[in-house]
């Protein structure tokens, strides 16, 4: 059963399309198999590319000899660093003003003299068939000289440790200082200090990285690729030494992203090969390649030292944060910043000091993944809240309630919190929805319940100066077109824009077509990342649709002899609100406007709040447009003999401001619950001495249909978000509290805590043993 509650506690007015669980415009194509993904496209005369990858996590490349590979019949090109001297993958966030990257840490497109992780690209083969390309890889002779390596941030921080990239292994650092934590700690009744660790995990989208590139008749390098970011056309142009207007990214429906298709994947390999061979070139990563060689979620080690009063007030918080950046930096500075800003969670603490490092190692590089550092922070701060409560012999929900932030409070970086803050409401509803406690099915089974609250940003860091654009227009027959560069990664990004337009212009959903994800032909809308598209492109679309409505509404008011604000639009008709019998069909109104040369379309740009960068010493300053608040509660069973954990019930309750499509919003929350279950219990990309020993879904264990508990979703709508109709983002936030809620439930069940994710049976048994020996 789908359990979805959507109580209208803020008494928001009903709308015609907004909030309804309408079937998504992209759904029928997907379920019937008609939808083409990037890897489904072919071109005449197409070649297939494969990439040769490093066999060592750290080595000098003495030589690369491709003579035998080039001689293999069917091989058209073997490309190495010599074919693209000095080019690097620009790993920063595209289209932003102001970065936090250390120079010289970008990855080379193809390694020339040095490899820094196992799986680093060394050569590209383009051949007539994928099989020949694969065969050719085995004929390329690479002479390596293994070099010393570091595999943990702790090792990498030691004096004399091998340096991954000069000058040292600290590739990003943030400090946030509010008040005086050290002094305030002295007045605490109780101080609790604990360390929490998280693991590498894989995005494991079902569609592996894929794309096809060709040079078109105008000399434009055109790349159809599965991506969250069409704006990479700029960094592709830089890497391949082309003008920016000679690179064209065409998206496709993305078969899952979760941050893993935020960085460049196949684009430069197939782009370079297409330029060199003058033929279309396709490349699809194998699953092993995707796990081995593309980015992972950052493992974090987070130590909290918190001073509290005996009655449960948080006084001071000192947090040290360390993230494993892997061999190249990519988005580590920003992931680290999100973790730092979120370090104390949704709690009011007047004295905070956060000291955070991202450290290079010879592991697979780490980068964006749903939750983007804020999720790892929550794993730590929400387990820590339970441990503080235990130290105080207090109900952890009561401890939270005492300390939740309120509207008007400031975050550790000094940003004022605005809008409704329904932390307590969400926690209470999530907890209550667990219902009756389950009975243990046998004497060695214990049942436990846990909760986690969170606050998490939606929209990009405000000193990126983020914008999105959308074009909305009406055709002569009353159908509507939306053009917006938004990549749809499965969250219903395109459908959201259609549903907003349907509401504003009164056009039925089945008469709206959305064109998206094209860097040349659709207005650039920015990345589908940072839970920003509904907020940013939703607002851009809303603005554009409202501009069209204004022109048509004004003209209709003349025709209907009423005031412009008395005009309403619904069901392809324009009418007087209080007297719908006074009306004109949308098509007749469009014809009237066309005959008079009035515009029936609008291109609109939406700007997020723009701020300056944070103070580098204290981390003070505004950082995000706004926050989503919520909670997740779970009930688990633990087998005290085997250590096996099963999640029995799982409830997410979030204030999403306003649901645009309630089924899509609930779908995000249900999916986030499952992904959080995997993060908590089974998923672990194990990289042992630089070698990934879990390179397939046989070792890397995703939740299956059999693992899914009774799942409930509660959508609250305060109407106070910054998105269209008061909406807030939910794509990433809903994932964040799930794993710590599970960890808290397991700790409750067994009476002790595993401080490292995932909670494998071995670790749970060990924790049980330790607690029984105390």
Partner 1 sequence: MNPKLISLTINGSTHQVALSPNTTLLHALRDLGHTDVKSGCEKGDCGACGVLIDGVVVNSCLLLAWLAENKELVTVAGLGTPDKPHPLHKAFVDLGAAQCGYCIPGMILSAKALLDQHPQPTDEQIRESLSGNLCRCTGYVRIFEAVRVAAQELGSTLPE
Q: Which residues here bind partner 1, judged by CB under 8 A?
A: 1-2, 21, 23-24, 26-37, 39-40, 203-208, 253-258, 284, 286-287, 489-492, 661, 663-664, 666-667, 670-675, 696-698, 702-706, 708, 711
Q: State the Cα angle at 422 between 417 and 428, rounded to 5°.
A: 145
- We find the least distance from the C-beta atom of residue 697 to partner 1, in angstroms, to be 4
Cβ–Cβ under 8 Å, residues 664 and 502: no
Nearer to partner 1 among residue 187 and residue 686 (C-beta): 686
- We find the least distance from the C-beta atom of residue 41 to partner 1, in angstroms, to be 9
Cα separation, 268 vs 616, whole angstroms: 34
- We find the least distance from the C-beta atom of residue 496 to partner 1, in angstroms, to be 13
- We find the least distance from the C-beta atom of residue 192 to partner 1, in angstroms, to be 33
- For 131-167, give the DSSP string: HHHHHHHTT-EEEEEE-----SHHHHHSTTPPPSSSS
Interstrand relation of 645-655 and 710-716 (parallel, antiparallel or unpaired): parallel
What is the Rg, in whole angstroms, of the alpha carbon atoms belonging to the chain? 27
Cβ–Cβ under 8 Å, residues 494 and 538: no
Nearer to partner 1 among residue 90 and residue 252 (C-beta): 252
C-alpha distances out from residue 404 to 10, 386, 631, 656, Å: 20, 14, 12, 18
- We find the least distance from the C-beta atom of residue 73 to partner 1, in angstroms, to be 15
Nearer to partner 1 among residue 137 and residue 254 (C-beta): 254
Nearer to partner 1 among residue 153 and residue 491 (C-beta): 491
- We find the least distance from the C-beta atom of residue 466 to partner 1, in angstroms, to be 24
Tokens 């839970």, residue? 531
C-alpha distances out from residue 411 to 177, 376, 385, Å: 11, 18, 17
Nearer to partner 1 among residue 142 and residue 212 (C-beta): 212
Beta strands in 426-496 (DSSP E): 445-458, 467-474, 480-484
Cβ–Cβ under 8 Å, residues 658 and 721: yes
**Selection from 684, 631, 92, 623 nearest residue 340 by Cα:** 623
Tell me the two tokens of residue 230. 């069409």
- We find the least distance from the C-beta atom of residue 699 to partner 1, in angstroms, to be 10
- We find the least distance from the C-beta atom of residue 98 to partner 1, in angstroms, to be 32
Nearer to partner 1 among residue 426 and residue 665 (C-beta): 665
Nearer to partner 1 among residue 205 and residue 422 (C-beta): 205
- We find the least distance from the C-beta atom of residue 745 to partner 1, in angstroms, to be 18
Cα separation, 175 vs 433, whole angstroms: 39
Tell me the two tokens of residue 596. 């008079």
Q: Is 245 exposed, middle or buried, given 0-12, 13-18 or 19+ CB atoms closer than 10 A?
A: exposed
Nearer to partner 1 among residue 74 and residue 751 (C-beta): 74
Nearer to partner 1 among residue 33 and residue 597 (C-beta): 33
């Amino acid at each position: 059963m789908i359990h979805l509650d959507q109580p209208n506690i803020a008494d928001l007015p009903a709308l015609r399309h907004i909030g309804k669980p309408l079937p998504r415009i992209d759904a029928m194509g997907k379920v019937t198999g008609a939808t083409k993904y990037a890897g489904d496209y072919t071109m005449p005369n197409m070649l297939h590319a494969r990439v040769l990858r490093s066999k060592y996590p750290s080595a000098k490349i003495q030589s690369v000899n491709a003579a035998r590979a080039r001689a293999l019949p069917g091989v058209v090109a073997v490309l190495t660093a010599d074919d693209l001297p000095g080019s690097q993958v620009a790993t920063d966030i595209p289209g932003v003003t102001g970065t936090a990257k250390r120079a010289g840490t970008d990855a080379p497109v193809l390694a020339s003299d040095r490899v820094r992780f196992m799986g680093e690209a060394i050569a590209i083969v383009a051949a007539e068939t994928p099989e020949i390309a694969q065969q050719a890889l085995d004929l390329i002779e690479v002479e390596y000289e293994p070099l010393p390596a570091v595999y943990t941030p702790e090792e990498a921080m030691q004096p004399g440790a091998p340096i991954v990239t000069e000058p040292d292994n600290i590739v990003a650092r943030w400090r946030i200082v509010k008040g005086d934590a050290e002094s305030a700690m002295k007045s605490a009744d109780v101080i609790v200090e604990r360390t929490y660790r998280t693991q590498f995990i894989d995005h494991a989208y079902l569609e592996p990285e894929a794309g096809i590139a060709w040079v078109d008749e105008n000399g434009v390098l055109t790349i159809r690729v599965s991506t969250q970011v069409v704006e990479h056309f700029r960094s592709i142009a830089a890497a391949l030494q082309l003008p920016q207007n000679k690179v064209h990214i065409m998206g496709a429906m993305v078969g899952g992203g979760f941050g893993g298709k935020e960085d460049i994947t196949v684009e430069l390999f197939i782009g370079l090969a297409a330029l060199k061979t003058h033929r279309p070139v396709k490349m699809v990563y194998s699953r092993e390649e995707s796990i081995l060689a593309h980015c992972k979620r950052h493992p974090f080690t987070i130590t909290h030292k918190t001073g509290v009063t005996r009655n449960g007030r948080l006084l001071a918080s000192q947090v040290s944060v360390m993230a494993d950046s892997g061999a190249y930096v990519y988005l580590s500075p920003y992931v680290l910043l999100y973790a730092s800003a979120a370090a104390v969670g949704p709690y009011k603490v007047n004295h905070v000091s956060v000291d955070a490092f991202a450290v290079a190692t010879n592991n697979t590089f780490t980068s964006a993944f749903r939750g983007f550092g804020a999720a790892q922070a929550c794993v730590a701060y929400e387990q820590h809240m339970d441990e503080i409560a235990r130290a105080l012999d207090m109900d952890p929900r009561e401890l939270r309630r005492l300390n939740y932030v309120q509207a008007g409070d400031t975050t550790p970086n000094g940003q004022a919190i605005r809008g409704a803050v329904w932390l307590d409401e969400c926690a209470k509803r999530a907890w209550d929805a667990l219902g009756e406690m389950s009975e243990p099915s046998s004497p060695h089974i214990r049942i436990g319940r846990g909760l986690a609250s969170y606050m998490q940003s939606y929209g990009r860091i405000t000193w990126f100066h983020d914008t999105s654009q959308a074009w909305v227009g009406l055709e002569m027959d009353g159908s509507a077109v939306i053009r917006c560069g938004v990549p749809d990664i499965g969250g219903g990004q395109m459908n959201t824009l259609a549903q907003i337009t349907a509401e504003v212009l009164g056009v039925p959903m089945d008469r709206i077509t959305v064109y998206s994800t094209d860097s040349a032909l659709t207005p650039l809308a920015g990345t589908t990342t940072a839970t920003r598209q509904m907020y940013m492109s939703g607002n851009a679309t809303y603005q554009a649709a409202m501009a069209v409505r204004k022109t048509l509404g004004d003209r209709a008011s003349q025709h209907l002899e009423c005031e412009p604000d008395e005009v309403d639009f619904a069901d392809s008709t324009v009418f007087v609100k209080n007297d719908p019998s006074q009306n004109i069909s949308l098509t007749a109104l469009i014809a009237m406007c066309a005959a008079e040369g009035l515009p029936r379309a609008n291109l609109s740009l939406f700007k997020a709040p723009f701020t300056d960068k944070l103070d580098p010493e204290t981390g003070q300053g505004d950082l995000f447009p706004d926050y989503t608040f919520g909670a997740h509660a779970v009930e688990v069973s633990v087998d005290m003999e085997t250590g096996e954990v099963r999640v029995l019930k799982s409830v997410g309750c979030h204030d999403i401001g306003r649901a645009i499509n309630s089924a899509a919003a609930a779908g995000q929350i249900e999916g986030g619950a499952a992904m959080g279950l995997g993060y908590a219990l089974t998923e672990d990309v194990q990289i042992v001495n630089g070698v990934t020993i879990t390179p397939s879904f046989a070792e890397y264990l995703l939740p299956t249909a059999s693992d899914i508990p009774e799942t409930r979703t509660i959508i609250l709508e305060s109407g106070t978000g910054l998105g269209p109709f008061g909406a807030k983002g939910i794509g990433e936030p809903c994932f964040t509290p799930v794993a710590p809620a599970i960890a808290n439930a397991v700790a409750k069940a067994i009476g002790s805590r595993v401080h490292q994710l995932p909670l494998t049976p071995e670790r749970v048994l060990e924790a049980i043993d330790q607690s029984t020996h105390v």
